[in-house]
Amino acid sequence: MEFIISGIQQIGIGVPDVYQAWEWYAKTLGFDVPVFDDPGTADKMLVYTGGKPHKRHAVLAVNMQGGGGLEIWQYTSRVPVKPSFKLQAGDIGIYAIKIKTKDIQNAFQKLTAEQCRILTKITDTPDGGKAFYVSDPYDNLLCIEETTLQNFMDTSSVNGGAIGVVIGVSEMGASIDFYREILGYDTILYDKSGIFSDLRTLPGGTGSFRRVLLTHHHRCGAFSRLMGPSRIELIEALDRTPEKIFEGRYWGDLGFIHLCFDITGMSKLRSLCAEKGHPFTVDSNPETADGKNGTFNMGEAAGHFSYCEDPDGTLIEFVETHKVPIIKKMGWFIDLRKRAPKKPLPDFILKALRFNRKK
């Protein structure tokens, strides 16, 4: 089977209280439709959890305007750990999530009225767009970006879902190669170095940086119309040695824990990652002698997940979805293994997810 990326499925966020955090993201940013709500044990991630399985609770929620979702994730068998230092622009790892909006003035006014912690004014981005930064209640940075991207559905939210991330890197060339060769981000929208006005009021934002914004050509697959196009901004600090955001901590601790892509063709992807020097470090369903993979139950959903690392150790997750609930109360599930992998699901099926909306 050919390897296909449908888009950014979700960004993982480690939080101290999963339902409290989801309440904030649902009410404030419209991530109010759950795909799964799954308490359980993380027993496949031992390489990143001190060699021991840990209980956890995860909710995957999406915004029906389209874009990637959020996997809101809480340890329930240990107290999650925050970084030992104050994060600064250019620190290594996932630094911020990019959230789309069609009306940045309205988004700024709404988030200000809700007494969110606004970190920057609306400023020009290096590609001539408009954006501002806000913090969630757990000190995670969100970059609200104005975009002309078409909404998958119109909703009452002033913003849509995730259209990308900002990732701190240590060596730009190696990182560009990784995101281009494995993840298909083959188009450079800008490559600029210097001091940037849109970062100036962020911690460490007055420094000198190289910033590269990457995007991709057409995506396909079951969820491609809901997830839509995305961008990866790589940022390299030029005048200081940055810290590693997850140094000395576990996957699942507080902060942005991974960037996840919805894919098909896990075996092909496994070979590609190994060939490019970024082999899977976690694989939920290792290939058997007959060349087949099983399925892994994730509460109401099922599939196959794996992880690799970018050149700086930032965790990239891949999920091949096998079964997903559409309308849970009706018991309506879709088995994607019975569908042509490049074919998008019909809009009416994806739009039916709204009937699961959090009240």
What is the reported pLDDT for 293? 56
CATH architecture label of 4-356: Roll (3.10)
Q: Which residues pair with 263 in a beta bridge?
A: 5
| Alpha helical stretches, state H, 129-215 | 172-181
φ, ψ for residue 189 (rounded to 5)? -85, -30
pLDDT score, position 1: 57
Structure confidence by residue, pLDDT tens digits, 161-188:
999 999 999 999 999 999 999 999 999 9
* Cα gap 228→110, rounded to integer Å: 25
Distance between CA atoms of residues 303 and 288, nearest Å: 16
Classified as helix, coil or strand, 175 is: helix
Question: pLDDT under 50 in the chain at which residues?
Answer: 288-291
pTM confidence score: 0.94
Which tokens hold the place of 233? 């901004």
pLDDT of residue 210: 98
CA dist 87 and 94 (Å) reads 11
User: Distance (Å, rounded) from C-alpha 222 to C-alpha 200?
Assistant: 40
**What is d(CA 179, CA 320) in angstroms, rounded to the nearest whole number?**
19
For residues 71 and 10, the answer to whether their CB atoms sit within 8 Å is yes
Whether the CB-CB separation of 82 and 253 falls below 8 Å is answered with: yes
Taking each continuous run of H as one helix and of E as one strand, the counts in the chain are 6, 19
Query: Which residues lie below 8 Å from residue 329, measured CB to CB, with a gap of 6+?
Result: 355, 356
Q: Is 323 helix (H, G, I), strand (E, B) or coil?
A: strand
Percent of the chain with pLDDT over 90: 83
The residue ranges of every structural domain in the chain are 4-356
Residue 358 pLDDT: 82
d(CA 211, CA 341): 34
In this predicted structure, what is the pLDDT of residue 289? Answer: 43
Average pLDDT value over all residues in the chain:
93
pLDDT at 291: 47
H-type alpha helices, the chain: 18-29, 104-113, 172-181, 224-227, 266-275, 347-351
Q: Write out the two tokens for 250.
A: 């576990």
Task: Give the DSSP letter string of 46-109.
Answer: GGGTTTS-EEEEEEEEE-TTSSBEEEEEEESSS-----SS---TT-BEEEEEEEEES-HHHHHH
- Per DSSP bridges, beta strands 315-327 and 231-237 are unpaired
